[in-house]
A and B are shown apart, each in its own frame.
Chain A
Amino acid sequence: MCIICVNNLMSGRDYPTAGDSLYVSIKAKLDSGDKVVLDMSDVPFLPSMFLNVSIGRLIKETSADYVKNNITFRNIRLSDAQRVRDYVERFRY
């Protein structure tokens, strides 16, 4: 299991660029057989332009079930947890 600190990736980057960095980080870990835990400490919120190029892109390339089976979160705000669940359930491409 590999932990990625999302706020570290967000610092100093706009949301689309940070989302792209997150995608690259997650992909590298998943491709090497690791499952991923996204640590959401200090993350301000999760806008669509961040999710679309990270989690959304992964769903497009794999599936919602694959994302759910291989990625989880910790220290996530309750409202963001619900947002992520809704996002993955409703994602269509």
Chain B
Amino acid sequence: MVIRFDNKDRLWWLEKISELYYNQDIRRGELIFDFSGLEVENIGPEHIAPLACLVETLSNHKVRVSIKKNSPVGDYLASDIKLSHYWKGHKNYSESTSNNVLNLWRINESEIEVHPRRVGDFFKSRFKGKDLSAVTLSLTESYYNVQDHSKCLGNAFSMISYDEESNFLNVTVCDFGVGIPTTVRSVLRNLDDCSALQKAIEDNFSIRSKSYNAGKGLGNIRSLCCEKNSYMWIVSKKAILVANANQEKVMQSSFDFPGTWIYYRIPLSLLPEEDYVEDFMW
């Protein structure tokens, strides 16, 4: 069966992936993903990370997934992103051939602090003297959130790219777990998906599932998106949150995303210089 991805719009992509996730009829035999209608510049981490989660689900159900070759995106996913390494090769991370891509990483407990450092090292040489701690901090917070709350059974991926032209970093973390609203409802029962997602990014809100949870994680990510032209999107179950420097908006989605997708875009031009305080004053 051939499945066509011919629209670059993020929400279209997530809706398509959601439909395929819930479609039991495709969970047998073989699928061919066809990206013929798209160009490489049309897709980024926000598309590839949820696609990886879908492939993981299908792979777990012994569905054979392949990519139709001889299209720009098909060849890019095969040769640059090396998708087969993650399933046929059983790797959690495979270096991309592209200089501007920190490739797909399958989020796993043993590397949860290693990968943010890997990201920091990747960008250190490009941004000498710049304070990258906010970037690595946001990744660490995201990955711990997945580990602590998602119950995704290992089906979670992250991917990062750097847009040289605009000097922006694009980060996506995606899991096929229970979704943020479900987690929030474990402590606040009567909230709908939108209200639950709104609650989750409130400062100090935490379900306190672990001794080290105290509700700072999503807030740390949110605070990165307070600069001009930066923004954060979260899609989880039937809720969508969009936040930028000036506002936050939560709306109901037309589809039920089977987990959580977080995408944020932050300007690297506004990263501060690495500066130290010798004697700190409160």
Instruction: Spell out A's residues near B (CB within 8 Å).
Output: 14-16, 19, 44-53, 56, 68, 72-81, 84-85, 87-88, 90-93
Decide if B133 is an interface residue (CB 8 Å cutoff): yes
Contact A90 B204 (CB under 8 A): yes
CA of A47 to CA of B280, assembled, Å: 19
**Who on chain A is nearest to B147 by CB?**
A49
Interface residues of B in 61-97 (CB under 8 A from A): none
Contact B204 A48 (CB under 8 A): no
Please name 8 further chain A to chain B contacts, defined as beta carbons within 8 Å, in addition to the given A19-B212, A88-B282, sorted by A numbering: A44-B136, A47-B141, A49-B217, A72-B279, A72-B281, A74-B277, A91-B204, A92-B204
Decide if B256 is an interface residue (CB 8 Å cutoff): no
Decide if B123 is an interface residue (CB 8 Å cutoff): no
Contact A52 B216 (CB under 8 A): yes
Instruction: Spell out B's residues near A (CB within 8 Å).
Output: 112-113, 117, 120, 131, 133-134, 136-137, 140-141, 144, 203-204, 210-214, 216-217, 220, 272, 274-282
Contact A47 B203 (CB under 8 A): no
Contact of A48 among B220, B274, B278, B279 (CB under 8 A): B220
A88 neighbours in B (Cβ, 8 Å): 282
Number of A-B contacts (CB under 8 A): 92
A16 neighbours in B (Cβ, 8 Å): 210-212
**With contacts A46-B137, A48-B141, A56-B214 known, is A76 near B276, CB below 8 A?**
yes
CA of A48 to CA of B210, assembled, Å: 12
CA of A91 to CA of B137, assembled, Å: 18
Contact B282 A85 (CB under 8 A): yes
Contact B277 A81 (CB under 8 A): yes
**With contacts A15-B113, A45-B136 known, is A52 near B212, CB below 8 A?**
yes
Least CB distance, A67 to chain B, in whole angstroms: 9
**With contacts A47-B140, A52-B216, A72-B280 known, is A77 near B131, CB below 8 A?**
yes
Least CB distance, B281 to chain A, in whole angstroms: 8
B276 neighbours in A (Cβ, 8 Å): 75-78
Contact of B272 among A46, A52, A79, A92 (CB under 8 A): A79
CA of A79 to CA of B280, assembled, Å: 12
Contact A79 B279 (CB under 8 A): no
Contact B282 A68 (CB under 8 A): yes
What are 22 of the A-B contact pairs (CB < 8 Å)? A14-B113, A15-B144, A16-B211, A16-B212, A44-B120, A44-B133, A47-B141, A47-B144, A48-B214, A48-B217, A49-B213, A52-B214, A73-B280, A74-B277, A75-B277, A77-B131, A77-B133, A78-B277, A79-B272, A88-B282, A91-B204, A92-B204
B204 neighbours in A (Cβ, 8 Å): 90-92
A44 neighbours in B (Cβ, 8 Å): 117, 120, 133, 136
Least CB distance, B225 to chain A, in whole angstroms: 16
Least CB distance, A9 to chain B, in whole angstroms: 14
CA of A34 to CA of B57, assembled, Å: 55
CA of A52 to CA of B141, assembled, Å: 12
A14 neighbours in B (Cβ, 8 Å): 112-113
Least CB distance, A85 to chain B, in whole angstroms: 7
Contact of B216 among A45, A48, A76 (CB under 8 A): A48
Least CB distance, B121 to chain A, in whole angstroms: 11
CA of A46 to CA of B216, assembled, Å: 12
**Who on chain A is nearest to B280 by CB?**
A73
**With contacts A44-B117, A47-B144, A77-B275 known, is A53 near B282, CB below 8 A?**
no
